[in-house]
Chains A and B, each alone.
Chain A
Amino acid sequence: MPHDHADDAPPHSLLPPDPALRVKALESLLTRKGLIDPAALDEIIEIYAHKVGPRNGAAVVARAWTDPDFRKRLLEDATEAVAEMGFTGRQGEHVVAVENTPEQHNMVVCTLCSCYPWPLLGIPPGWYKSDAYRARAVREPRKVLAEFGVTLPEAQRVRVWDSTAEVRYLVLPMRPVGTDGLDESALAALVSRDAMIGTALVEAPA
């Protein structure tokens, strides 16, 4: 047994085993103590389920592709540049944009937890938080990319950015050839969440 006495058991083991009931128990206890407002929880969920997500990041990328001055500002000080577009706040207090080039492909991970640029990409997908991605992306990024269907030329270096501090990274993908006629919103529609993490490329429309 891991614990000789019940008093040594970690507090979390006192909660119900089913995770959905565990949340209910915590929410109910904190509400009864006056420490949380359930309507505030609804509001947090509404914001991250429907308002803050990868469309924000895609708008930044499309603007960088079409506005050279903005691209320059984004690469120099992304925190300021994305704030101009209204994207600020929790888990995006300090942002750096890293540009993919024919010489270097960038890919972002957080090996220690799940750091991710929330104001630009929303809440991270399950795979980003998975042990497999956290463990492997730093050591064998090209094998991981292959699992996303991405194969890079060996001559294109791969840089993996491990988000070990409060700096949050946005990958600025390469603009696909054959998109000269597209406007900013059509370009934004091409940019996937994964392309801004660095596990996908942006393709021209078929």
Chain B
Amino acid sequence: MTRVHDMGGRFGDGPVQPAAGDAPVFAEEWHGRALAVTLAAGALGQWTLDRSRFARECLAPADYLAFSYYEKWLAGLADLLVAQGVVTRDELAGAEAAPSPLAERRLRAESVAGALARGGPVLREGPAPRFGPGDRVRTRRPARNLAVTGGHTRLPGYAAGLTGVVERAHGCHVFPDTNAHGLGEQAEPLYTVVFDAAEVWGAAEAPGDTVSCDLWESYLEPET
């Protein structure tokens, strides 16, 4: 049911390679450029953050695994630009570029600092929460988007079908499963749900270790 990005718990990846704290932020010059062109294109307002995550998740598994981090960003961006009609396939392939009606929306250098400092809050008015701290809940299984087959969801596969405890309610947040697909924000209560590592993985590294996810209300059912 899942896509290639949903890798929490997977075996076989080998050791993590820590980096020195003073390593450059962008290991290659093009990394910074890839980040910046992605943010600037996003500022045109032709897609949501959820949609852009979905674009990266839709990369073919072979590409996703072969691409470095910023290559995934670039591929996702190129695919989004065409999918949203901002550029054409021919333009991407090198044909003469036609001027865009979106040009007046382009992010200007003098607006960058303000736009980054504002960000894009996702807290919204919405329904009263069904659950509160201490409530036991069960997560949906399988982890999937109910509105769009193979669509975006933020319930990781490893956290599907588990019993957990609500630790904190965060108010209503924009719902990625709809917002990624042009189906509206449909804000829902969001909760931090805590799972016993022994239940998630069959055995914990040490007793009492836990994992938590931030999960939308429709991912959850009451557990009695």
Contacts and interface: CB of A to CB of B under 8 A. Distances in A.
Contacts of A129: 69
Given A47-B116, A93-B121, A194-B18, A164 B107 contact: no
A66 interface: no
Contact of B19 (A25, A54, A126, A132): A126
Interface string A24-57: 1111011011111101111111011100111000
Given A36-B41, A111-B8, A14 B70 contact: no
A44 B39 contact: yes
A4 interface: no
Contacts of A42: 36, 109
A90 B116 CA distance: 5
Nearest to B60: A2
Given A19-B68, A164-B213, A10 B79 contact: yes
A45 B28 CA distance: 12
A14 B53 contact: no
B122 A41 contact: no
A133 B113 CA distance: 31
Interface string B99-126: 1101100111101110111111111000
B77 interface: yes
Interface residues of B, number: 110
Contacts of A37: 40, 106-109
A20 B55 CA distance: 20
Interface residues of A, number: 89
Contact of B14 (A14, A22, A35, A132): A132
B209 A157 contact: yes
Contact of A166 (B8, B159, B173): B173
A202 interface: no
A119 B27 CA distance: 20
Nearest to A157: B208
Given A34-B100, A159-B210, A162-B213, A135 B37 contact: no
A32 B173 CA distance: 37
A23 B60 contact: no
Contacts of A127: 16-19
B74 interface: yes
Interface string A88-127: 1111111010000000000001011110000100110111
Interface in B151-183: 154-156, 158-159, 168, 170, 173-174, 176
Interface in A122-154: 122-123, 125-127, 129-144, 147-148, 154
Interface of A: 2, 7, 10-12, 14-15, 19-20, 22-27, 29-30, 32-37, 39-45, 47-49, 52-54, 88-94, 96, 109, 111-114, 119, 122-123, 125-127, 129-144, 147-148, 154, 157-167, 192-194, 199
5 A-B pairs closest in CB distance: A34-B103, A111-B8, A165-B214, A12-B75, A41-B36
Interface of B: 5-11, 13-19, 21, 23-30, 32-37, 39-41, 44, 53, 56, 59-60, 62-63, 65, 68-71, 74-79, 81-83, 86-87, 89, 91-94, 97-100, 102-103, 106-109, 111-113, 115-123, 154-156, 158-159, 168, 170, 173-174, 176, 190, 192, 194, 197, 200-201, 205-216
Given A90-B118, A91-B119, A157-B210, 4 more contacts: A19-B68, A34-B99, A44-B32, A132-B15
